Structure 1
Amino acid sequence: MRKKPASKNSQSDGVIRIISGQFRGRKLPVKDVTGLRPTTDRVKETLFNWLMQDTRDATVLDCFAGSGGLGFECLSRFAKQTCFIELDRQAAQQLNSNIATLKLSNAKVINDNTIDVLSRKNEQAPFDLVFVDPPFRQDLAQPCCMLLEQNNWLTNNALIYVEVEKELDFTAPQDWQILKEKQAGQVLCRLYQRNEKVS
């Protein structure tokens, strides 16, 4: 969940708030990492209204996890498991700390480059729900989604949430259907469903 570069004068760490589920109201610390700004509660509430019936028992992949706000929200709503991918070492350490704070045994963090991770063929079970919220203006959303599609990261009818800058010319893989779409300021939010054609 990276958006705009953080202020150079900002030295204090922040928090994210879990808005519903078993950890409702819990606040988790977030490292003040340049370029990281958690998805706003307003956007998060819209998203999880869209996903109301889809988080329980889901296997979740949070790409470019940042604060982990979306992945933790799923875990609060009884997702089966969540995997966070985050490149920044401090942010990844904070994710692990927050997992320990919540005493979660069904969450793990991969401290690595998301594109590098997704470039490898997934040998584990594919994911039901994936969040793609990359740093803005680095053209990462499209290659990320193509790799998810190509390398066995998605179940046949997976849901994929993509959050990008509104001016980005983003094209989803061919078999992805838009279920929901919303513009919030400079941000374009879309929820896709994968409809793999089984031969």
Structure 2
Amino acid sequence: MTRRPPSPRRAAKPTDRQPGSRRSAGHRSVGRLRIIGGDYRRRLLPVLDSPGLRPTPDRVRETLFNWLTADLPGARVLDLFAGTGALGLEALSRGARQASFVERDPRVAHQLEENLATLDATPRGRVITADAATFLAGPPAPCSLVFLDPPFRQGLAEPCCAALEAGWLTDKAFIYLECEAEREPAVPATWRLHREVRAGDSHGRLYRRATTPQPN
């Protein structure tokens, strides 16, 4: 009996891709974002394939939110360069009172709005379709927790850090800054490094704002 040739291997579906990998320059709904803890734990949300979209890895998010556990209930959160909204959504899941997501790509922002609606989190989360620098130039609303994850190697971190000091931070706010591993960003003198974590080509630093002078 003649044997049939083996079937070709199945092409990997978009959901088979590894987190943080890049595919095309289009905007397709591919992959899933998993909420790690809190009220929305284990919920899976669709994310778009978009150039430069770089979700914070699960391991880094878990470490970060373990550090922030005691300070999340009631927090007012600002998620700049929100992208998938992974950090702000995780904060809402764990008890943050309100989160504002700033994302300049309209289609990515729209997907984030849909994910907030899926979680019934719209009353506590709002999406602003705007450039982060433009948004920060507007009227400030003090926040107790800020996530700052700008595109790498575009010189965006330092200007945004400086702009946050113009009324966007409460006296003891936490600021999480994620940037390329080879770079140590210049931050305001009122920020004290609290914790840090490395993952691949990124380096996450959690700062605590202190309005009193640092001792020599």
Please report the TM-score for the alignment, with normalisation by the length of structure 2.
0.85
**Displacement of 1:181 after TM fit?**
1.2
Deviations 1:24-82 (A, max 9, x none): 00011111111102111011111111111111110000000000000000010010000
> Unmatched 5+ residue regions in structure 2?
1-18
- Against the structure 1 CA distance between its residues 94 and 157, is the aligned structure 2 distance closer, same or farther, given a 3 Å change threshold? same
Q: Is the 8 A contact 1:85 1:114 kept in 2?
A: yes
**Displacement of 1:12 after TM fit?**
5.3
Aligned residue for 1:70?
Answer: 87
Aligned residue for 2:133?
Answer: 115
Q: Could you say which structure has the larger radius of gyration? A: 2
Count the aligned residue pairs. Answer: 193
> Unmatched 5+ residue regions in structure 1?
none
Structure 2 CA distance for aligned equivalents of residues 175 and 9 of structure 1: 39
Aligned residue for 2:181?
Answer: 166
Aligned partner of 1:144 among 135, 139, 160: 160
**Displacement of 1:5 after TM fit?**
7.7
Structure 2 CA distance for aligned equivalents of residues 9 and 152 of structure 1: 36
**Displacement of 1:121 after TM fit?**
3.4
Please report the TM-score for the alignment, with normalisation by the length of structure 1.
0.92
Q: Which runs of 4+ in 1 moved over 6 A?
A: none
- Trace 1:2-151 onto structure 2 (pairs within 5 A): 6-8=22-24, 13-104=30-121, 105-122=123-140, 124=141, 126-149=142-165, 151=166
User: What is the letter of the counterpart of residue 49 of structure 2?
Assistant: D
SS at match of 1:29: strand
**Displacement of 1:100 after TM fit?**
0.8
